[in-house]
Structure 1
Amino acid sequence: MSQPQLSDLYDALVVGAGAAGLYAALCLPRHYRVGLISKDALALSASDWAQGGIAAAIAPEDSPELHIHDTLQAGAGLCDREAVEFLVCQASQCIESLVDLGVEFDRHGTQLALTLEAAHSRRRVLHAADTTGRAVVSILGERVLQCPHITTIPAAFALSLWLHPYTGACQGVSVAYQGQIRWIRARAVILATGGGGQVFAQTTNPALSTGDGVAIAYRAGALLRDLEFFQFHPTALTKTGAPHFLISEAVRGEGAHLVDAQGRRFAFDYHPQGELAPRDVVSRAIFSHLQATAAPHVWLDLRPIPRETIQKRFPNILQVCQHWGIDIFSEPISVAPAAHYWMGGIATDLQSRTSIPGLYAVGETASTGVHGANRLASNSLLECIVFGAQLAHLELLPVLDEGTTQQKVEVMLEALPAPEQLEAIATSLKALMWQSAGICRSAEVLQAAIAELSELQQEFEQLPSTQFFQNLQPGTLVQFPFPECDRTLRLWGETWNLLEIGQLILKSAVFRQESRGGHYRSDFSQTSTTWQTHTLIQNDRWWQSVPIPD
C-alpha cells in the first residue's frame, strides 16, 4: 500500500490517532480538508488498550447527578465542576453516536450491559467484553478511512509546532515523514497524542505513549496544568518476562479479591471499600503492603467470579494469562501497580481550545478539568468522545504568509545519533522517574532526581544533530539519505519529549507541598486546603490557580 503524499496546507491537522484523534477527525466539518497524523498504524494507541469501558449514567437507577458526584469525589477537590457537568450531561448523546457508528457494546437482551468499577456508586460502565477500547478505536478507524476529506498519514512523527512569528498563533507542525522533515501548514492543529506513561519504568501504556503533545506544546509556550498528577493502576500483571499488562478493575467490580500471600484481603486495612476504593488509594495500599512485607507483588484472585462470567466478560485477560502460564480458574494473578494515566496535560476549555490561538487538545494530552487529582474509572474514553465532539464547532484561522517556500537541506546519515545512545538515555530516565516520582514522593528524592535528569539532558544535547534539530527554522525542508532515518529521528524526538515531561513532572511534584489524589508526598502526607488549586505551568514558571470551590 502506497504512502499518502503530504499536502502543504490542511484546514485542520489532527496529531494522534487514538479514540480522541479519530473521533475529533470525524466530528470536524466535512467540508474541511483534514490531515490525520499517526506515529504508527491507526489501531496502535493507548485507547486501543483500554479494557474497562466507557462510563455513562443511562440506567434507570442511575442519574447524571450521581455520576457527577462520583467524579468529583474521585477527583479529590481538583475537578472543575462545570467541566464535569458538561462531560456527564453529554455522555448519553455520545454513547448514541458510537452505537450509530457501529460500536457493538455488550448487551443483556436488547439493553446495553453495564458493569461496576471502583468508586462508581452505580453500574454505569458500558463495555465490549474486556477490549472496549479496541472495539471503539477499530470502528472509528474504519469510519475515518471511509471519509474522502480525511487524509491519514501513518508512520509520521510531529516534531514541533509552527507558530506565526507575529501573531503567535499555531499555523502548523513540523513532521518527520518518508525520510524528510517537512513543515505543514494548517488553519487549526488538534493535539491528541495520548499520555506519557513511558516516562516510567513500570507502565501499562504502549510504547508510543511518550508525552509528545504535552512536550511540544510546552516548548511552544502553551499553558499546562496539574502535571504532578499521575494515576498508577493498582493491578498490572507482574511476571518475569511479561509486559505490564493491565488487569482491568472491572474484574474487581465483578467480585475479584485483592489478597496477600496469606490470602488475606489486606486492602480493607487501608479503606472501608477495600479493593473497590479509588485507584490511588488501592495503589498506595498495595505499595505500602509490599514495603511492609518485602514481597514483590500481591495477588488478584478471580475465583470468586463465576467461570462463565470470566469467559464472557474477560476473554482477553483470560487469553493473556493463559499465554503466560496462569490458570485464572485455579490460581490468582500476580499483580503490582504501574503508571497508567496522566490527569494533567495541556490546559483546555470546554471547546478544547488551548492558550495558543489555533491550537486544540483532546483526550489524555489535554487537561479539561474533569479528572481533578484522580480520574474516575472509565471516564477517559468518555472524555475523548465528549470533547472530541466539540470540534464540530471549530472555527478556522485565516492563512497567513501562504507563499513561504521550503528551503531544502541535505543531512548526511552519519550526523544522526546512534539508536543505542538514545535508548540508554531513555532507560536511565525511566528508572529514575519510577524510583523518584512514582507512587510515593519526597522533596529530597525529587530534587536529587531533577539534578540527575539535568545530566541526562546535557548528555542528550551533546548527541550528534541535537542542536541542529532543536533549532530547526520553520520552512527548512530536511532531506535524509535513507527513509530508515525516520525510525532514528522518531526515537530522537521521543527521547527529547520524555526528558521534557520528566522534568515537568518532577518540578510539579516538588511544587505541590501536599498529598492529594495521584500525588503522594511522604514529607507532606496530608491534604491541605491551601492547595485546593490547580498547578499552572508556562515557560518555566510554576504558580497556583485561584482556589477551586468545594
Structure 2
Amino acid sequence: MSLALKLADKQKIAIVTKKSLLDGASARAQGGIAAVLSRDDSLDEHIHDTLIAGAGLCDPDTTRFVIEHGAASIEWLISQGVPFTRDADSDSGYHLTREGGHSHRRIIHVADATGQAVQDTLAAKVRTHSNITLLEQHIAIDLITGRKLRRNDNHCYGAYALNSQNGEVVTIAAHHTVLATGGAGKVYLYTTNPDTATGDGIAMGWRAGCRVSNMEFIQFHPTCLYHPHAKSFLISEAVRGEGGTLKLPDGTRFMPWHDERADLAPRDVVARAIDFEMKKRGLDCVYLDISHQPVDFLQEHFPTIYARCMALGIDISRQPIPVVPAVHFTCGGVLTDLHGRTDIEGLYAIGETACTGLHGANRLASNSLLECLVFAEAASRDILTSQTKPIPELPQWDVSRVTDADETVVISHNWDELRRFMWDYVGIVRTTKRLQRAQHRIKLLHEEINEYYSNFHVSADLLELRNLVLTADLIVQSALSRHESRGLHFSKDYPQTLPDAIPTVLVPPGYVAA
C-alpha cells in the first residue's frame, strides 16, 4: 500500500490481493516500528544492534541504507495520519518503547496495535485514490516473463491471477510488477501468521527464474499465547521490553541461565531457551509475567493484549500469560538490491517476501515494517525513473487440457502432512537426518501436486499448497547446505559457528544473470 500511494499520482496501479486488502500480516504487528528518533539514540547504535541480532550475516550496506532512511519513513507515515502514541516528556514527542535486542528505546508505536493503525490509515487512502484499482479475492498464479513467452529477454510483463469468486483466470499486463506477498509461516503447523502467508511471492519468483537467499532462517516468535481458543495470537515483544519476565510453572525465572541479556535477548536466543526448557521438563508452555505492573499501565500500553487475555479468563495484572514459540517471520526470500529489484527486469520484491540482506540470520524486533516502508520508497523512485518496455500481446490462460477435480481431499491431506512434518523436522532445533526426512516427503508431495496441477482446474487451495511445498523445499535445501549453527538455524550436527558468515543463495534451473 505504501508503494502504491507513492506511485499513484503518476502511474496506474493494480493491487492484487487474494483475500481482502487488510488480510496480510502487517495488521498483526503489535510492537511498532524501529527508528532512531531520540537524541539519546544514534544510527550507529541501531545498526550495531541489527548486526548483532543478525549473527554476522546482515548486509552492512543494506543495514545502513534502511536505518538511515528510518526517520523519513516515520515522518511519511505521520504525514499520512498514522496516530502514533504521544509522550509530551519525550524529545521526539512520541512514546518510544524498547524490545529484545535493542540497546535503546526506539520503537514508535500506536499502543499495542501499530500494524493495524498503519494498515487502516493507508487502506483508507488506497480505496479512494482514482489511479488505484483494487482486485480483492484474486490470487496470483504465476508471473508472465519473456522466457515463458519464448522471447529472447529476461523481463516480467505481468501475471496471471485467479478470481476466486467465479473461478476465472485474468491476465494482468504491467510495465512493472511488485511481489509484496509476505512470508511463508503457514508452511508450519504453529504460526503467528495469517492464513494468507503461504510463500506465494517466493515460489512465483523462483519459478520465474529469481534466486532466493537465506531461506533456512525462519524466525520463531518466543511468545505466542498458549490457549485452545486463541489461534495465532501474539504476545508482543514489548511486554518483555516493559519488564515482563519468562518463568517456569513454579515461578522460577530461566532466561538468566541461557543469556546474560536474560528476557531482553534476541528472539532466536529466547525461542531456543523456551524450546529447551519445555523439552527438558515436558512442559506444554512457559509463562510470561508482567503482573508487577499496575492495571492502568497495562491497559494503556497493551490494551489489545489485556482485553484478549481477559476475554480468555487470564488477568495479566494478577497472573502470568501461558506462551509457546511459534513461526513468525521468514528472514530469507527473493534476492533483491537496494532498489527492490530482482534478477528479472521489471520485477521487484519488497517486504517479507524479499531478501534484502537487512535481517541476516535473525531479524531484530520491529525492523520488519521499517524495511517495508524504506523499500517501498526505494522501489517507487526506481520505477518512476526507469525506462518502460513495450508489452507484447500476452496469451490468455489455457484451460483446454484440464478438467474439474474429482475430489479435493488430496489437497487438504497434503497440506496437513506438510505442515506437521515441517514442524517436527525443520523446527527450532534441526538435525541432518530430520532435514533429509523432510526433503524425501517434500519430493513425494511435489510429484502429487504437479500431477494435480497439470490435470485439473486451479483453485486457491491448490495454488497455495503448490507454493507452500516449493517454499518448504527451498527452506530444507538451504538448511541442508549450511554446515554450522548461526542465528535462527541451529543444527545439532553442526553446533559450531564458522568464522565467515556467508549467505545461502539458491539458483533456479535456467537462471539468467541480470
Band of TM-score, shorter chain: over 0.9
Q: Deviations over 1:112-156 (max 9, x none)?
A: 110010010000001111110000011111111221111111010
Question: Which segments of 5 or more consecutive residues in structure 2 lack a partner in the other structure?
Answer: none
TM-score (norm 2): 0.94
Task: Determine the C-alpha separation between the residues in 2 that align with 1:353 and 1:265.
Answer: 46
2:480 maps to: 510
CA distance in 1, matches of 2:310, 2:130: 42
The question of whether the paired residues in 2 share the 8 Å contact of 1:232 and 1:340 is answered with: yes
Q: Partners of 2:387 and 2:472 in 1: how far apart?
A: 33
Aligned to 1:268: 256
Once the two structures are TM-superposed, the CA of residue 410 in structure 1 deviates from its matched residue by 6.2
What is the rounded CA distance, in whole Å, between the counterparts of 2:429 and 2:85 in structure 1?
38
Q: Within 5 Å, which residues of 2 pair with 1:11-26?
A: 22-26=1-5
Determine the structure 2 residue equivalent to 1:170: 156
- Choose the corresponding residue for 1:533, options 495, 502, 507: 502
Establish whether residue 491 from structure 1 lines up as the match of residue 477 from structure 2. Answer: no
Q: Are the counterparts in 2 of residues 188 and 397 from structure 1 also a CA contact under 8 Å?
A: no
Deviations 1:156-215 (A, max 9, x none): 000101001320211110110142112211101000000000000010000000000000
Which residue of 26, 43, 52 corresponds with 1:64?
43
Structure 1 match to 2:100: 118
Question: How far apart are 1:400 and its partner, in Å?
Answer: 3.7
1:293 alignment partner in structure 2? 281
- How many residue pairs match? The answer is 500
Equivalent of 2:327, from 318, 334, 339? 339
The residue aligned with 1:155 is 137
**Matches of 1:301 and 1:207 in 2, distance apart?**
29
CA contact (8 A) 1:352 1:360 kept: yes
| 1:516-540 C-alpha deviation (Å, 9 max, x unpaired) | 111110111111124x111001115
What residue identity is the alignment partner of 1:54? I
Q: SS at 1:153's partner residue? A: strand
1:419·1:491 contact (CA, 8 Å) conserved in 2?
no
Structure 2 counterparts to residues 188-227 of structure 1, below 5 A:
188-227=176-215
RMSD over aligned Cα atoms: 1.8
Identity, % of aligned positions: 40
Equivalent positions of 1:42-81 (< 5 A) are 42-81=21-60
Structure 2 CA distance for aligned equivalents of residues 408 and 366 of structure 1:
30
- Match of residue 455, structure 1, among 444, 448, 455: 444
Partner SS, residue 258 of structure 1? strand
Alignment of 1:446 with 2:429, yes or no, is no
Cα distance between partner residues in 1 of 2:509 and 2:483: 18
Superimposed CA distance per residue, residues 301-347 of structure 1 (whole angstroms, 9 cap, x where no aligned partner): 12022221110111111121122221212211111100000110111
Q: Distance in 1 between matches of 2:38 and 2:388?
A: 45
Separation (CA, whole Å) in 2 of partners of 1:404 and 1:215: 22
Larger CA deviation: 196-205 vs 403-412:
403-412
Following TM superposition, the consecutive aligned residue runs of length 4 or more in structure 1 with deviations greater than 4 angstroms are: 407-412
- Check conservation: 2:173, 2:394, Cα contact below 8 A: no
Could you tell me how far 1:33 is from its partner in structure 2?
Answer: 1.1
Q: Which residue of the partner structure matches residue 374 of structure 1?
A: 362
**Hey, what does 1:519 align to over in structure 2?**
489
SS in 2 for 1:346: strand
Q: CA deviation at 1:29?
A: 5.5
1:416 paired to 2:405: yes
In structure 1, what is the Cα distance between the partners aligned to 2:419 and 2:397?
37
SS, match of residue 168 in structure 1: coil
* Aligned-partner Cα distance in 2 for 1:358–1:163: 10
Equivalent position amino acid for 1:237 in 2: L
Deviation at 1:408, TM superposition (A): 6.7
Tell me, yes or no, if the aligned pair for 1:46 and 1:205 is still in contact at 8 Å: yes
2-structure distance, mates of 1:534, 1:434: 24
Deviation, structure 1 residue 417: 5.9
Q: Conserved in 2, the CA contact under 8 Å of 1:187 and 1:397?
A: no
Aligned with 1:338: secondary structure? Answer: strand
| 1:390 Cα offset (Å) | 1.2
The answer to whether structure 1 residue 309 and structure 2 residue 279 are counterparts is no
SS of the aligned residue for 2:5 comes to helix
In structure 1, give the amino acid aligned to 2:462: W
Query: 1:17 corresponds to which residue?
Result: none
CA contact (8 A) 2:29 2:113 kept: yes
Go from structure 1 to structure 2 and tell me whether the alpha carbon gap of 1:408 and 1:338 turns closer, same or farther (over 3 Å shift). Answer: closer
Q: Is the 8 A contact 2:157 2:391 kept in 1?
A: no
TM-score scaled to structure 1, two decimals?
0.88
Q: Aligned partners of 1:201, 1:174: CA distance in 2, in Å?
A: 29
Instruction: Check 1:468–1:221 CA distance in 2 against 1; reply closer, same or farther (3 A cut).
Output: farther
Unaligned runs of 5+ in 1: 1-21, 470-479, 481-487, 543-550
Q: CA deviation at 1:220?
A: 0.8
Q: Residue 28 of structure 1 contacts residue 391 of structure 1 at CA under 8 Å; is this kept in 2?
A: no
CA drift of 1:217 comes to 0.4
How far apart are the structure 2 equivalents of 1:121 and 1:56? 12
Is the Cα–Cα contact under 8 Å of residues 188 and 396 in structure 1 kept in the other structure? no
Tell me the amino acid that sits aligned with residue 43 of structure 1: L
**CA deviation map 1:401-456 (0-9, x unaligned):** 534553774688x6236443212111110001011111000111101111012122
Asked whether the 8 Å contact 2:171–2:397 carries over to 1, the reply is no
**Any conservation in 1 of the 2:173–2:391 contact (CA below 8 Å)?**
no
1:407 and 1:377, CA in 2 relative to 1: closer, same or farther beyond 3 A?
A: closer
Question: What does residue 426 of structure 1 align with?
Answer: 415
Give the distance between the partners of 2:52 and 2:396, measured in 1 at CA.
52
Deviates more, 1:450-459 or 1:275-284: 450-459
CA contact (8 A) 1:307 1:329 kept: yes
The code of the aligned residue for 2:32 comes to G
Counterpart for residue 110 of structure 2: 128
Distance (whole Å) between structure 2 residues aligned to residue 255 and residue 521 of structure 1: 31
